[in-house]
Structure 1
Amino acid sequence: MADSLYIANLEIECGKLVVTLGVMELLSRRIGHVGFFRPITPGDGTNDNDINLIRHRYNIDLTEEEMVGISHDEARSLVANGQEQLLFRRIVGKFVEVRKKCDFLLCEGPNIVSMSEAFDYDISIRIARELGTPTLHVVNARNRGVDEIQGNIRVAEKIYEQYQCPLLAMFVNRIDPDLFTAAKEQIKASHQEKSYRLDFLPEMKGFSMPTMEEITEALGARHFSGPPAAGRQSDIHAIKVAAMSPANFIDFLEEDDLIITPGDRPDIILATLGAIASRHYPSPAGLLLSGGFEPSPSMVRLLDGIDNLPLSMYLIPGDTYKAAMRAGEVKGVLQPHNEQKTARALGVFESHVDTVGLEQQVIDTVTTIMSPLMFEYSLFQQARAERKHIVLPEGYDERILQAAEILRSREVVDLTLLGDEKTIRSRGATLGLKLQDVSIIDPKTSPLREEFIENLYQLRKHKGFTRDYAQDAINDVSYFGTMMVHTGRADGMVSGAVHTTEHTIRPAFQIIRTRPEVLVVSSVFFMCLETRVLVYGDCAVNPNPDSEQLAEIAIRSAETAAMFNIEPIVAMLSYSSGSSGHGEDVEQVRRAVALARTLRPDLKIDGPIQYDAAIDISVGSQKMPESEVAGRATVFIFPDLNTGNNTYKAVQRSAGAVAIGPILQGLNKPVNDLSRGCLVPDIVNTVAITAIQAQALAKKHQEEA
């Protein structure tokens, strides 16, 4: 079962809150602790009506701050400053934190009517994609014919497909009651092949009209006489300006009208009271006295003398015309204390929606969506759980310094930079970075030099290392950093922003070496696509692995995937699928599959298989219908370095994937290489991954001890 659900819209005034209320009612009956979250709230985020309603009705055990991702004002500022990724990152962070505190989290997307020109109209769906949660979409059918409604449905479908966002159901809301049955049947008939469910809700007559209380609050009205508007929850039927004579005015009255008239019209006040008292005329809901005029003292005395005066009267500033315009702009909303309107909304939802079917669909939904931001956040959370110490040898590089500030400010790891401390701190200050908590060691002057030189000499003397050679090597930041890891001064190392791959990993092969059970050191890339994270191996280390090495790479890559909460479903790739191909290259993969299955019968491994059959469920079901891997693979093992390296770069560039790696696997302690073209986020993510590897290896060593 999914542990969260998102309600989105693309249009204004679609009645999304009615759907939110209905779904919340459904969930609260089945699930013990349901939470509520809004990624972007109106204005400064301090008084969100939807949060107030849901929190009040369902006793949500969360603070208002926990239920808010970011305010509209803050979000707009971030977008205006070109920091849209930071906006999504903050929303994802708050979402994940609050989800931990609930059995289920219902999210309601931002109100499109309150969004400014700073936001794209599809912002709500883009947020859903980043959160990776199944989505219910609400379509506004108010005052629209069937063709226009169908057009809006198709637009929504295209956007969900574009962002690969999981669409669970679509609610067509506010359909004209006179057209409801015909529109419902016509739309359903043309959507029979869709993968999502369709539900339909009619427009509720008068539901969008405000109450007397909402209008008086919006206009800043001052109570004058009669019962206060607070607590009067019946909707206003219409707003009418009384400018004609009382004899003509009363013929235009209708039940629950709100009358606006100048304060110096006692004749209208008396006529309105008379209409209420008469069984021949309807009763208005209230009277607004405009123009800043108060009724005469004699009229005040008259009103004070009427017991249980049945008419709420308020004074409002400004002329009658402007007051009527302002009152007409007030929209009725579901508010926490309006039990009448809430009950009505729930009644309509439950009478028109198959709530049992919707509930079952939510229960049956298993989401596999993982956005790059969500993956990044999960990395940070894992790394923080048991903070490790990572050494970054390339302390002079600006990208390394910027990444160091991010990692420390977000408290992901403890860090040591290598290089001259004065130079590094000066460069950091020039860049405006705060690196006070980051340790800096100069390999040329460090007290650790002699210990490291002796250790390196003893480790490598059988290979011809002399003390002089070891002394020169320790001046090299890669060797010094590797020795820090080897001797336990650091838990892992990340380098390669400036140095070559060979320069980074050769000391690790010589000093840290492979784990006893590992046949060959290999590498993987985490390929962060828009909605999922895949593991590619080996794309960086082994040029032409044989069958044994391929089996080893597959097993280690599966272990790495599981380490990062990616279910390992391993595809051993080749140019043919199943038994269709022949030739030594295919046979080598076939032997590797058999060996990997023998060594790890618990893993889902299949091959030889082509890439399209491994990743696409429709192709996989045709080419290898009996396979539990085809179309579902998460770990892709390439037959050689040429294929793997070119494929990961092609996917990275053509699909816009974020490639994190190469991540080395098989060493006794983690050392990872960066691309010399790496960006700051690449460094940050690789450091977090290295810390998680260090956690896993430390646990493994403890178990073996």
Structure 2
Amino acid sequence: MPQIRTIMLIPTSIGVGLTSVSLGMVHAMEQQGVSVSYFKPIAQTYHDIDAPDHTSEILKANSAISIGESIEMKKAEALLGTDQEDELLEEILNRFHQNINGSEVALIEGIVPTRRHEFANNLNFQIAKALDAEMIFVMTLGNEGPEQLKKRLEIATTNIGGTKNPHIMGVIINKLNAPIDDQGRLRPDLSDIFDDSEKLNTKQLPTSPLQLQPYSPLPILATIPWNPDLIATRAIDLAQHLKARIINEGHIAKRRIRSVTFCSRSIPTMLSLFRSGSLLVTSADRPEVLVSICLSAMNGVEIGAVLLTGGYELDPRIARLCEQAFQTGLPVFLVDTNTWQTALNLQNINLQVPPTDKERAENIMHYVAEQIDANWIQKLTAGSSRPRRLSPAAFRYELTELARRANKCIVLPEGNEPRTIKAAIICAERGIARSILLGDPEEVIRIAESQGLTLPSGVQIIEPRGIRANYVDRLVELRKSKGITEVVAREQLRDNVMLGTMMLERGEVDGLVSGAVNTTANTIRPPLQIIKTAPGSSIVSSVFFMLLPEQVLVYGDCAINPDPTAEQLAEIAIQSADSAKAFGIEPRVAMISYSTGTSGAGSDVEKVRAATELAQAKRPDLIIDGPLQYDAAVMADVARSKAPDSPVAGQATVFIFPDLNTGNTTYKAVQRSANLISIGPMLQGMRKPVNDLSRGALVDDIVYTIALTAIQATQ
């Protein structure tokens, strides 16, 4: 068994963003398929000494990796206070070895040196030595220039032999170009509370590791630029911090606060500050300000929240007047403190991500992981013999990397739909795909701005009315066997899905994604009429990629064919196996039925048995078996009992359901009961890629469906 690589992150000071770096490191390793475990030897919190470790709690809520149990800080302090450091290190070693569970890399998070925990630096080094860990320092530059980097690292490594210590891997520099005041304190967009923004450090430092490396005596493993979106707290967290009374709940659990504005001036001078993500603070006895804010909300501005100060009760007549704005999701809450006291309370908010804020945790993990060199991560486990299992993080990473390399253009017929616009912007910013939004340009830009977004160059808006006439003759030609006239063709092209399909048919775009508003039938009908099936395919089917905690499974067909024949089911199995292989999943295909092997009889079982034999004969290179019950296909212990000779049972990665009723019900039951992400449906068998969305799709669902479509366009 290869030796486990142990890496310890050691903070050089308070405020380096250690939790964010730890989350990003774990995610970067997961993306590369590295088996990683996490261990914080001693739980450390800033307010409650008995609270669980913060990073551990976030990872438990957002990852399936093995996480060690931390020692309570008060217990560690008691042992250190009685000269029992050896006993403490022995307990840490014991918990560490209970945690690693066959992982390739064990990531250890050190203790942050604070006034209360002045022993942190020495203890970190003792822990690293006890665990034989390689050390990575985590630091910020604050308001200092890069020329101070060498001196600070030399000071940090004084007690361990200096920067030449062979156990030091390097340094990660976090929060580059963060808003810092002249005292070195982080001031994230709350500067207008005290009106001292002119005192903030505006000097821009280089953000590339190559640019900073000449100043550092240690290898720079990552430089992480400051990103204000990563500290955008939810309105509900702010309300809880202030102990506020909720006047209107709205979307309080979803809206995020990116700036704070005190509405103490006249309304005309404040209108430009009524913007997306802003917390607008006003005295509760200024109804004219609240009404103005509500008018902005009714005009599509997604204001973060309204905070009323002074403890005055909201006049019921004003509340009724604002009712329509409240229905847009605008959160409104009330505090008893005056404006000055409220400003002080706002400044003291803890900007750490709560474990319950899954979206923000995932954004932090993704952003930080992007800054870490993937080649360095791969070298950590060079020579490891452990078989790779495609985890959800590795699958999403593979999707985005393959899509970037594909560099395709995807048309989005629902161009004025808010989620679709945001997804298109994300795809452009991450280089996943270029997008064309079909819609009125002014409306699309207005919707984007109301979400605080700006359309980048990788997103193009096309007004449908200006191009419909270009496709009339071609549509008549393609559908002449159905008697389509020019008048009918013009009418059909009023449907943006049909228009996008014609752009795809002509080769002006590489793929089409729709369904956030349109039904599956409306999305699929035009492509079936115009694009048709690929050579060698007689049927169009679909798969979902089910992102279970430890691996990704493929389910088909859960969206298209109500009751396929045995021949069609065999083709669905082959299409799904090929799709799995295309996206890095080793296909082991289970043909699902209500009985396993020869234990059952009936027309439904016979159909699955016949489909299995047809698929095996047509593609002997694939591992296909059936009929198998779901538990026999997925659980090794059940497989040993029900299908001991099956090459698939207990280890299936592709599940083919006998009909749409079974497939759709199963995928939704698994998705909702386990609260997991499913990507799809991805259509198979089309001559050019077209994919359908669920009407309840999240922004991330749309992003990954666009990535799938871009990759399909290369195949």
TM-score (norm 1): 0.56
Q: For residues 39 and 686 of structure 2, what CA distance do their matches in structure 1 show? A: 47
| Cα 1:436/1:602, change in 2 over 3 Å | same
Equivalent position of 2:404 in the other structure:
384
Equivalent position of 2:449 in the other structure:
429
Equivalent position of 1:178 in the other structure:
none
Give the C-alpha shift of residue 450 in structure 1. 2.6
Select which of 423, 429, 441 maps to 1:403: 423
**What is the DSSP-based 3-state SS (H/G/I as helix, E as strand, rest coil) of the residue aligned with 1:73?**
coil
Q: Is the 8 A contact 1:137 1:167 kept in 2?
A: no
| Cα 1:458/1:576, change in 2 over 3 Å | same
| Cα 1:533/1:166, change in 2 over 3 Å | farther
Q: For residues 562 and 92 of structure 1, what CA distance do their matches in structure 2 show? A: 23
Q: Is the 8 A contact 1:671 1:690 kept in 2?
A: yes
Q: For residues 427 and 689 of structure 1, what CA distance do their matches in structure 2 show? A: 26
Equivalent position of 2:439 in the other structure:
419
**Which runs of 5 or more structure 2 residues have no equivalent in the other structure?**
77-83, 108-124, 131-156, 170-379
Equivalent position of 2:664 in the other structure:
645
Matched, 1:121 2:53: yes
Q: Is the 8 A contact 1:389 1:492 kept in 2?
A: yes
Matched, 1:367 2:388: yes
Q: Is the 8 A contact 1:613 1:619 kept in 2?
A: yes
Equivalent position of 1:516 in the other structure:
535
Q: For residues 35 and 395 of structure 2, what CA distance do their matches in structure 1 show? A: 21
Equivalent position of 1:471 in the other structure:
490
| Cα 1:399/1:147, change in 2 over 3 Å | same
**Counterpart mapping for 1:449-464 below 5 A:** 449-464=468-483
Q: For residues 532 and 443 of structure 2, what CA distance do their matches in structure 1 show? A: 33
Equivalent position of 2:635 in the other structure:
616
Give the C-alpha shift of residue 207 in structure 1. 7.6
Q: Is the 8 A contact 2:43 2:70 kept in 1?
A: no
Equivalent position of 2:11 in the other structure:
42
Give the C-alpha shift of residue 689 in structure 1. 0.4
| Cα 1:364/1:138, change in 2 over 3 Å | farther
Matched, 1:440 2:461: yes
Over the matched positions of the two proteins, sequence identity in percent amounts to: 43
In structure 2, what residue type is equivalent to 1:663?
M
**What is the DSSP-based 3-state SS (H/G/I as helix, E as strand, rest coil) of the residue aligned with 1:391?**
strand
> Structure 1, residues 559-590: CA drift from partner, whole Å, max 9, x if none?
11011011111000001111211111111111
Q: For residues 514 and 560 of structure 1, what CA distance do their matches in structure 2 show? A: 16
Give the C-alpha shift of residue 664 in structure 1. 0.5
Matched, 1:683 2:702: yes
Q: For residues 626 and 106 of structure 1, what CA distance do their matches in structure 2 show? A: 30
**What is the DSSP-based 3-state SS (H/G/I as helix, E as strand, rest coil) of the residue aligned with 1:503?**
helix
In structure 2, what residue type is equivalent to 1:373?
A
| Cα 1:546/1:106, change in 2 over 3 Å | closer
**What is the DSSP-based 3-state SS (H/G/I as helix, E as strand, rest coil) of the residue aligned with 2:464?**
coil
Select which of 581, 584, 604 maps to 2:623: 604
> Structure 1, residues 109-162: CA drift from partner, whole Å, max 9, x if none?
5765596559963746976998988999999997559998899589x56xx8xx
| Cα 1:552/1:374, change in 2 over 3 Å | same
**What is the DSSP-based 3-state SS (H/G/I as helix, E as strand, rest coil) of the residue aligned with 1:422?**
helix
Equivalent position of 1:73 in the other structure:
16
Q: Is the 8 A contact 2:540 2:683 kept in 1?
A: yes
Equivalent position of 1:92 in the other structure:
27
Q: Is the 8 A contact 2:570 2:615 kept in 1?
A: yes
Give the C-alpha shift of residue 444 in structure 1. 1.1
Q: For residues 87 and 62 of structure 2, what CA distance do their matches in structure 1 show? A: 31
**Counterpart mapping for 1:231-310 below 5 A:** none
Q: For residues 340 and 464 of structure 1, what CA distance do their matches in structure 2 show? A: 76
Equivalent position of 2:605 in the other structure:
586
Select which of 543, 556, 581 maps to 2:575: 556
Matched, 1:565 2:584: yes
Q: Is the 8 A contact 1:207 1:332 kept in 2?
A: no
Give the C-alpha shift of residue 206 in structure 1. 14
Q: Is the 8 A contact 1:529 1:656 kept in 2?
A: no
Q: Is the 8 A contact 1:573 1:607 kept in 2?
A: yes
**What is the DSSP-based 3-state SS (H/G/I as helix, E as strand, rest coil) of the residue aligned with 2:465?**
coil
**What is the DSSP-based 3-state SS (H/G/I as helix, E as strand, rest coil) of the residue aligned with 2:16?**
helix
In structure 2, what residue type is equivalent to 1:641?
L
| Cα 1:692/1:90, change in 2 over 3 Å | farther
Q: Is the 8 A contact 1:663 1:673 kept in 2?
A: yes
Q: For residues 120 and 373 of structure 1, what CA distance do their matches in structure 2 show? A: 25
Give the C-alpha shift of residue 620 in structure 1. 1.1
Q: Is the 8 A contact 1:572 1:589 kept in 2?
A: yes
> Structure 1, residues 376-419: CA drift from partner, whole Å, max 9, x if none?
12111000112000011111111011111111111111110001
Q: For residues 488 and 549 of structure 1, what CA distance do their matches in structure 2 show? A: 29
**What is the DSSP-based 3-state SS (H/G/I as helix, E as strand, rest coil) of the residue aligned with 1:407?**
helix
Q: Is the 8 A contact 1:569 1:635 kept in 2?
A: yes
Equivalent position of 2:341 in the other structure:
none
**What is the DSSP-based 3-state SS (H/G/I as helix, E as strand, rest coil) of the residue aligned with 2:461?**
strand
Q: For residues 404 and 480 of structure 1, what CA distance do their matches in structure 2 show? A: 18
Q: For residues 534 and 167 of structure 2, what CA distance do their matches in structure 1 show? A: 68
**What is the DSSP-based 3-state SS (H/G/I as helix, E as strand, rest coil) of the residue aligned with 2:561?**
coil
Equivalent position of 1:500 in the other structure:
519
Q: Is the 8 A contact 1:6 1:107 kept in 2?
A: no
Q: Is the 8 A contact 1:6 1:128 kept in 2?
A: no
How many residues were matched structurally?
Answer: 450
Q: For residues 63 and 399 of structure 2, what CA distance do their matches in structure 1 show? A: 15
| Cα 1:685/1:451, change in 2 over 3 Å | same
- In terms of Rg, which structure is larger? 1
Matched, 1:695 2:714: yes
**Which runs of 5 or more structure 1 residues have no equivalent in the other structure?**
8-19, 21-37, 45-70, 80-86, 172-202, 209-329, 343-358, 697-705
Select which of 520, 532, 547 maps to 1:528: 547
Give the C-alpha shift of residue 516 in structure 1. 2.4
Q: For residues 385 and 360 of structure 1, what CA distance do their matches in structure 2 show? A: 25
| Cα 1:387/1:72, change in 2 over 3 Å | farther
In structure 2, what residue type is equivalent to 1:73?
V
Q: For residues 501 and 445 of structure 1, what CA distance do their matches in structure 2 show? A: 26
| Cα 1:91/1:433, change in 2 over 3 Å | farther
Matched, 1:626 2:561: no
Q: For residues 499 and 167 of structure 2, what CA distance do their matches in structure 1 show? A: 73
| Cα 1:128/1:561, change in 2 over 3 Å | farther
Q: Which consecutive segments of 4 or more residues in structure 1 shift more than 4 A?
A: 87-91, 93-96, 105-120, 124-154, 165-171, 203-208, 330-342, 359-364
